[in-house]
Amino acid sequence: MDYRFHFGVVWDNLDALFQGALLTFQLGVFAFVGGVLIGLVGATLKTYGPKPVRFLVDCYVVFITNTPALIQVYFLYFGLPEVGVRWSNVTCVLIGLILNAGAYLTLILRAGFLSVRLPEIEAGQTLGMSLIQQVRYIIVPHIAKSIYPALANFFIVVLVMGTSLGALIGVDELTGQAINLSTVNYRWLEYFTVAAGMYVVLTFIASIGLALLGRWAFRVKARIF
């Protein structure tokens, strides 16, 4: 085998890969924030809601966590147009990732809810706090410290990597850009070697950012990698 690497073709299109990496990071951030919001509401309802509401949350969590994220994205992109609902490929990937993340984060955040000590809740009730105030001022700060590492790992491993699903429906994130560019000159090894290196850089940046955020906002000594 006499294969010679020619990275010159990659450097000529490096700006396109950078644009794809930026879109990858943006999708990951928006999907994570949306997933946290859904997870926080879901964990609250699953812990404190009435039985019918808890059942609905359980149905959502069970369905999402037991089906592949790819199927969920395909359902949004290829299935919804059959009933007249048409979204762009980027929107379908983003909504799919948000719904997927929301289900898993419901479980992660509920574990944090259950870790809150009962005397803290009783103290809030004694002070006349509503449920929303208890969640905001007692529960969220507590779970931020107890499960922040799990949340950080979820963002890095699942969402940053999961955005590559978009390449299958034509989203020009990092993997999609690498596929598009490599089909022009068939330098697959070069493009995907550079793309892999850029994913490592992205995860490193995200890891540092999340560690600094955890130490600043929640006084959590989160690990970098």
Buried/exposed 15-44: b ≥16 CB within 10 Å, e otherwise: ebbeebbebbbebbeebbebbbebbbbbbb
pLDDT digits (tens, 9 = 90+) for 123-169: 888 888 887 888 778 877 777 777 777 777 888 777 677 899 999 99
What distance in Å separates the CA atoms of residue 38 and residue 44, rounded to the nearest whole number?
10
Does 222 map to a domain?
no
Distance of CA 187 to the CA centre of its chain: 30
What percentage of the chain reaches a pLDDT higher than 70? 95
Long-range residue pairs from 177-184, CB within 8 A, at least 24 positions apart, any chain:
177/16, 177/17, 177/19, 177/20, 178/17, 178/20, 180/16, 181/10, 181/13, 181/16, 181/17
Domain of 162: which CATH number?
A: 1.10.3720.10
Does pLDDT of 225 surpass 60?
no
CB distance 24 to 174 below 8 Å: yes
Does 141 map to a domain?
yes
Residue 195 tokens, joined: 């793309």
Does 2 map to a domain?
no
DSSP symbol at 173: S
Does 164 map to a domain?
yes
Q: What pLDDT, on a 0 to 100 scale, did the predictor assign at position 96?
A: 95
**Encoded amino acid at 160, one letter:** V
Does pLDDT of 210 surpass 60?
yes
What distance in Å separates the CA atoms of residue 97 and residue 32, rounded to the nearest whole number?
8
What distance in Å separates the CA atoms of residue 39 and residue 57, rounded to the nearest whole number?
10
Query: How many domains are there within the chain?
Result: 1
Does 166 map to a domain?
yes
Q: Print the domain residue range for 122.
A: 8-217
CB distance 150 to 108 below 8 Å: yes
Q: What angle do CA 200, 7, 189 make, to 5 degrees?
A: 65
Phi, psi for 208 (deg, rounded to 5): -65, -45
Residue 215 tokens, joined: 């130490």
Does 1 map to a domain?
no
Does 224 map to a domain?
no
Does 225 map to a domain?
no
Task: Work out the mean pLDDT of the chain and round it to a whole number.
Answer: 87
Does pLDDT of 204 surpass 90?
no
Q: What angle do CA 158, 135, 143 make, to 5 degrees?
A: 45
